Structure 1
């Protein structure tokens, strides 16, 4: 099944999305680098596992078509600049529009998987949308919105890196303490891992823990979207 470029319409305008595969839909939520090869590879892997993977361009309001890597200082600077300009509330509106698009294509169930910035957005997707199951990897800033956790009524899985340079121990404690009473929330801590430990080719990639997290994710998605 070849890749597609979708056009998703909102009240504020239209944006593109990378899509691949057929089956229950999963919205793949980008890191701060845009829809790059890492995100496309995740979509392709999900498609190979029997899902319809859709990765929306969430930076379109700032600059459409951003595609960066984590390999140069200049790209990191640009990525952090985009992160600073990005409005998560508008991002969730765009994710909700993507979920609606997936339903419009015929998907009975829709899940979400997000990384870094996308990890925060996966959490907010669980709080604010009708997404059937959401997964967040090392989300940045969840502790600042922990008060919304009471709105989660559908399954959420969070992978937390114990030595995340962007999520200090006190923030991790706020997340764990703030969500542990919600039976819809499942959390796993990877004590020795740094941020982006599941990003293939990244500086902190750890194969064994990435495989553990990804296996947990696939089992979670199969349970709730299958």
Structure 2
């Protein structure tokens, strides 16, 4: 069973609530789990539990803590989906990356864990890319990250491994955007992109209507292998 904690924001703005799952045995590294636009809900907590079972300290910060702290939404409920879109419009990703940096510092300084990975979904997938360009995260993984094609001018700053899972039928990321991502990132030796033919946004969610079992299993197996390689 996980626990809740507080992480000091870098700018003194306040305390970032976070959900933490600890391994039963030795901690080999840490993974920051960045949610979709639905908050640290049951699915994100389940992902944290899975990473903890593999020996990682899993930390899921509340990305909407500034204006909707503690919100948990179900994307299969239309009213909650629309509520989440509203929060997405309010969210400042530049502050979000600083919150990720605060989590990295908390893990390394307070928990004494040097290797820190990150995995993010949807908006969190975009933040995984931004963490790779703007922080010293050990490695990061993004699932169906949105708007990455608009930030390719930052790609030169990627110095550590980044893996992106790209469903080709993502109705939030156009074929043109996907093409731009491949053209901008495929030449970068630190970046690996995996395409999932015919799959849509949210295919690797833990629960609900959007999950594609085969696609989720394949992407998650690649993520586990990636973390085993770079987090040891």
Q: TM-score, normalised by structure 2?
A: 0.95
2:75 match: secondary structure: coil
State the 1:108 CA deviation: 1.6
Q: Deviations over 1:76-131 (max 9, x none)?
A: 11000000000000000001101111112111200000000000000001000110
State the 1:71 CA deviation: 2.3
**Kept after mapping to 1: 8 A contact 2:33/2:44:** yes
Aligned: 1:122 with 2:132? no
Q: Deviations over 1:21-54 (max 9, x none)?
A: 1421000001000010010000001001110000
**Kept after mapping to 1: 8 A contact 2:132/2:158:** yes
Q: Distance in 2 between matches of 1:203 and 1:193?
A: 13
**Kept after mapping to 2: 8 A contact 1:196/1:202:** no
Corresponding residue of 1:19: 20
Aligned residues: 225
Q: Distance in 1 between matches of 2:94 and 2:100?
A: 10
Q: Distance in 2 between matches of 1:200 and 1:193?
A: 15
1:208 match: secondary structure: helix
State the 1:203 CA deviation: 2.4
Corresponding residue of 2:8: 9
Equivalent runs, 1:11-160 vs 2, <5 Å: 11-22=12-23, 23=27, 24-104=29-109, 105-160=111-166
Across the aligned residues of Structure 1 and Structure 2, the Cα RMSD in angstroms comes to 0.8
Q: TM-score, normalised by structure 1?
A: 0.98
Q: Distance in 2 between matches of 1:158 and 1:29?
A: 14
**Kept after mapping to 2: 8 A contact 1:143/1:174:** yes
**Kept after mapping to 2: 8 A contact 1:163/1:191:** yes
Q: Distance in 1 between matches of 2:122 and 2:39?
A: 12
Corresponding residue of 1:175: 181
Q: Distance in 2 between matches of 1:121 and 1:50?
A: 24
Q: Deviations over 1:130-180 (max 9, x none)?
A: 100100000011011111111000000000000000001000001111001
